[in-house]
Amino acid sequence: MNPNAKIFVTGHRGMVGSALVRQLNAEGYQRIITRSRDQLDLLSQTAVTEFLATEQPDYVFIAAAKVGGIQANNQYRADFLYQNLMIEANLIHGAHLAGVQRLMFLGSSCIYPRDCAQPIKEEYLLTGPLEQTNEPYAIAKIAGIKLAESYNRQYGREYISVMPTNLYGPNDNYDLANSHVLPALLRKAHEAKLRGDSEYVVWGSGTPRREFLYVDDLADACVYLMKQGYAGPLLNVGTGEDVTIRELAETVMDIVGFEGRIVFDSTKPDGTPRKLLDVSKLAALGWRARTSLRDGIRLAYDSAPFRA
């Protein structure tokens, strides 16, 4: 990307979009365009098409999406399907009409079949049934991958779809009703410390294994890939390493400085025993994550809004 390239980052107030803007700023890109939802509702096809035709960006990052935890995904199934389909269709088609040659679509590891082999390879897409609780969201994301792939095949575009593993970092969602496991553990440990609790309750048995990527590492990977291009239909982005929820909770407690003991609430569901992305394709392209889980959690804790 030339330093003068005009780059449109959607969802710039979110965790991923804000990390992309930080990364692009750090690399010296000067012409980054952002619009809040009030200024440009990505659900409006007319507004998005007109905006892209007028602005003529050189690159587009789709980090805008309707995102949420299991409960929200399950409860608001129509909203998750409809809004994600509209956002990606409006942006991908609008970018194509505006002559944008390179675009990046952010998906998620939940697009893969519920019971697929581990670590998860890109080829496993569409080889089995999806997890039911977030099926509408996953279907929308799969449609986005297929849209990008189809514009590449039919029109020679270079639209890249990346599938990040679980992310965490600045601007994460710490609302306990709707947050992912790592931000929830961080907040619960912090509050347990403030209250002087002797115990810290963690949902499930503590044995499932999960992978976590610091969001600034993801942004680094996205900009790296946008610069060099990627011809495949989709690409996993992760660390290639996983930890048990027990190990995660212990690291969180250590960083927060909570000295009580962990209690596992086995009445709460564990979910799938293991979820790890195979990142060998990404490694072959010359990229690997740099931030260790411990360093990343420390950075996330330092920037957490509940500490303000």
Q: Which of 90, 88, 78 is nearest to 108 (CA)?
A: 88
Tell which one of 7, 8, 9, 15 touches ligand NAP (CB under 6 A). Answer: 15
Give the nearest distance from C-beta 140 to ligand NAP in angstroms. 9
What is the nearest approach in angstroms of ligand NAP to the Cβ of residue 48? 9
Kindly tell me which residue out of 7, 21, 32, 42 binds ligand NAP, with binding defined by CB under 6 A. Answer: 42
Contacts of 220 (CB under 8 A, 6+ apart): 23, 287, 290
Q: Is 188 in the site for ligand NAP (CB under 6 A)?
A: no
Comparing CB distances to ligand NAP, the nearer of 11 and 240 is 11
Separation of CA 1 from chain center:
23
Binding test (CB under 6 A) with ligand NAP, winner from 24, 32, 64, 279: 64
Measured distance CA(196)–CA(193) in Å, rounded: 5
- As measured in angstroms, the least distance from the Cβ of 231 to ligand NAP is 21
Active site residue 137: yes
Q: Looking at this protein, which amino acid is placed at residue 28? A: G
Among 180, 190, 209, 275, binds ligand NAP (CB under 6 A): 180
Angle between helices 245-256 and 293-302 (to 10 degrees): 50
* Candidate ranges 64-72, 116-124, 199-207, 226-234; the one touching ligand NAP (CB under 6 A): 64-72
What residues contact 180, with CB distance under 8 A and at least 6 apart?
69, 166, 168, 172, 173
Q: Would you list the DSSP string of 137-181?
A: HHHHHHHHHHHHHHHHHHH--EEEEEEE-EEESTT----TTT--H
Contact 245, 207 (CB under 8 A): yes
CA dihedral 5, 8, 240, 138 (to 10 degrees): -150
Q: Which tokens sit at 207?
A: 């044995």
Taking CB under 6 A as the rule, which mask of x and - marks residues 215-254 in contact with ligand NAP?
----------------------------------------
Collapsing DSSP to helix, strand or coil, 217 comes out as helix
Kindly name the residue from 137, 159, 214, 301 that is annotated as catalytic.
Answer: 137
Q: Is the CB of 15 or the CB of 98 nearer to ligand NAP?
A: 15
Q: Rule CB under 6 A: is residue 63 a binding residue for ligand NAP?
A: yes
Which 151-170 positions form the footprint of ligand NAP (CB under 6 A)? 164, 166-167
Residues in region 84-113 near ligand NAP by CB under 6 A? 87, 106, 108
16 touches ligand NAP by CB under 6 A: yes
Residue 66 CB, shortest distance to ligand NAP, in Å, is: 6
Tell me which stretch binds ligand NAP (CB under 6 A): 12-20, 121-129, 242-250, 284-292: 12-20
Is 210 a binding residue for ligand NAP by CB under 6 A? The answer is: no
Query: How far apart, in whole angstroms, are the C-alpha atoms of residue 75 and residue 127?
Result: 26
| Closest approach of ligand NAP to the CB of residue 193, in Å | 24
| Residues across the chain | 308
Concatenated DSSP letters of 261-278? EEEEETTS----SEE-B-
Q: Does 136 bind ligand NAP (CB under 6 A)?
A: no
Q: How far apart are CA 141 and CA 33, in angstroms?
A: 24
**Residues in the site for ligand NAP, rule: CB under 6 A?**
11, 13-17, 37, 41-43, 63-67, 87, 106, 108, 164, 166-167, 180
